Amino acid sequence: MVLGRIGLALAVVAGFSAVNGQAAAAPNHQTLAATPPMGWNPYNAFGLNYGQDDVLASADALVKLGLRDDGYRYVNIDDGWWLKRGPKGMRIRTNLYAIAKLPGGGASMRPFVDHLHAMGLKAGIYTDIGYNTCSQRWDKTTPNLPVGTRAEREVGSMDHQAIDVRDFSRWGFDFVKVDACGIADFGPDAPDVKNGTYRQMGPIMLRERPGASDLARVEGLYASFEREIRKARPGHPLVFSICAWGEADVNNWAPRFSQMWRTSGDINASWASMLHNFDSAASRSLFAGPGHWNDPDMLEVGNGAFDANHLTEARAHMSLWAVIAAPLILGLDLRKATPEILAVIRNKDVIAVNQDPAGHQGVIIARQGDGEIIAKPLAISGHKAVAMINRGDQPLHLSVSLAELNLMADGAQIRDLWHGSQGVLRDGVVSVDLAPHETALLRIEGRLAQPALRSPADMPARFHVTQVGYLPPDRTTKEQWVPARIGFLPSGAPITRGDGLETAAIGASAGSHLVVDLGGQFRTLRFTPGVKAGYGVKLDGKALAPHAGADGSVTLSLAGARRLELIAPPRTAGADTFIWHDLRFERAVN
Ligand code: GLA
CA of 43 to the centre of ligand 1 (A): 7
User: Which residue's alpha carbon is nearest to atom 6 within ligand 1?
Assistant: 79
Would you tell me how many other CB atoms lie within 10 Å of the CB of residue 590? 8
In this structure, are residues 161 and 212 in contact, taking their beta carbons and an 8 Å threshold?
Answer: no
pLDDT at site 50: 86
Longest Cα–Cα distance of the chain, Å, equals 78
CA of 80 to the centre of ligand 1 (A): 10
Integer Cα distance of 457 and 505 in angstroms? 9
Atom of ligand 1 nearest to the CA of 134: 12
Whether residue 266 lies in the annotated active site: yes
User: Which residue's alpha carbon is nearest to atom 1 within ligand 1?
Assistant: 134
User: Residues lining ligand 1, CB < 6 A?
Assistant: 43, 48, 78-79, 134-135, 139, 179, 243, 245, 266
Bridge-based pairing state of the strands 429-434 and 396-401: antiparallel
In this structure, are residues 83 and 94 in contact, taking their beta carbons and an 8 Å threshold?
Answer: yes
- Name beta bridge partners: 542: 539
Integer Cα distance of 66 and 346 in angstroms? 9
CA dihedral of residues 145, 151, 157, 159 (deg, nearest 10): 170
- Name beta bridge partners: 422: 415
Integer Cα distance of 306 and 315 in angstroms? 8
Integer Cα distance of 202 and 187 in angstroms? 5
Integer Cα distance of 406 and 81 in angstroms? 50
pLDDT at site 527: 98
- CB burial of 309-325 (b: ≥16 within 10 Å; e: otherwise) equals ebbbbbbbbbbbbbbbb
3-state secondary structure of 319: helix
Atom of ligand 1 nearest to the CA of 297: 9
| Centroid of chain to Cα 298 | 11
Which DSSP state fits 306? G
CA of 79 to the centre of ligand 1 (A): 7
pLDDT at site 49: 87
CA of 197 to the centre of ligand 1 (A): 21
Taking alpha carbons only, the member of 528, 523, 489, 494 closest to residue 506 is: 489
Taking alpha carbons only, the member of 295, 335, 260, 432 closest to residue 46 is: 335
Integer Cα distance of 544 and 478 in angstroms? 38
Helix 161-170 with 2-10: angle, nearest 10 deg? 140
Test site for ligand 1: of 40, 41, 43, most ligand atoms within 8 A of the Cβ: 43
Which is catalytic among the residues 139, 192, 266, 349? 266
Integer Cα distance of 139 and 153 in angstroms? 15
Residue ranges of E strands in 137-280: 175-179, 239-243, 260-262
Q: How far apart are the first and last CA of the chain?
A: 60
User: Which residue's alpha carbon is nearest to atom 9 within ligand 1?
Assistant: 266
Q: What is the pLDDT along the chain (590 residues), one digit of tens a residue?
A: 232 322 222 222 222 223 333 333 444 445 899 999 999 999 999 998 888 888 999 999 999 999 999 999 999 999 988 888 887 666 766 556 556 655 555 578 888 899 999 999 999 999 999 999 999 999 998 888 998 999 999 999 999 999 999 999 999 999 999 999 999 999 999 999 999 999 999 999 999 999 999 999 999 999 999 999 999 998 899 999 999 999 999 999 999 999 999 999 999 999 999 999 999 999 999 999 999 999 999 999 999 999 999 999 999 999 999 999 999 999 999 999 999 999 999 999 999 999 999 999 999 999 988 999 999 999 999 999 999 999 999 999 999 999 999 999 888 999 999 998 877 888 999 999 999 999 999 999 999 999 899 999 999 999 999 999 999 998 988 888 999 999 999 999 999 998 899 999 999 999 999 999 999 999 999 999 999 999 999 999 999 989 899 999 999 999 889 999 999 999 987 899 999 999 999 999 65
Atom of ligand 1 nearest to the CA of 266: 8
CA of 334 to the centre of ligand 1 (A): 20
User: Which residue's alpha carbon is nearest to atom 3 within ligand 1?
Assistant: 266
Atom of ligand 1 nearest to the CA of 243: 8
Cα dist from 424 to 382, 401, 412, whole Å = 18, 11, 11
- CB burial of 256-282 (b: ≥16 within 10 Å; e: otherwise) equals bbbbbbbbbbebbbebebbbbbbbbbb
Peptide bond into 203 cis (omega under 30): yes
Atom of ligand 1 nearest to the CA of 138: 12
pLDDT at site 444: 97
CA of 469 to the centre of ligand 1 (A): 31
Integer Cα distance of 314 and 329 in angstroms? 14
| Centroid of chain to Cα 415 | 27
Cα dist from 510 to 373, 391, 467, 475, 568, whole Å = 28, 32, 10, 15, 5
CA of 21 to the centre of ligand 1 (A): 24
In this structure, are residues 105 and 87 in contact, taking their beta carbons and an 8 Å threshold?
Answer: yes
Whether residue 139 lies in the annotated active site: no
Test site for ligand 1: of 137, 183, 243, most ligand atoms within 8 A of the Cβ: 243
Helix 110-118 with 52-64: angle, nearest 10 deg? 20
Which is catalytic among the residues 79, 167, 179, 458? 179
Atom of ligand 1 nearest to the CA of 135: 12
Integer Cα distance of 398 and 368 in angstroms? 8
Kindly write down the DSSP assignment for every residue of 404-432, as one continuous string: GGTB-SSS-EEEETTT-PBPEEETTEEEE
Taking alpha carbons only, the member of 458, 469, 480, 455 closest to residue 535 is: 469
Taking alpha carbons only, the member of 383, 378, 330, 389 closest to residue 354 is: 378
User: Which residue's alpha carbon is nearest to atom 8 within ligand 1?
Assistant: 266
Test site for ligand 1: of 50, 127, 134, most ligand atoms within 8 A of the Cβ: 134
pLDDT at site 89: 65
Atom of ligand 1 nearest to the CA of 177: 10
Would you tell me how many other CB atoms lie within 10 Å of the CB of residue 191? 10
CA of 256 to the centre of ligand 1 (A): 23
pLDDT at site 95: 53
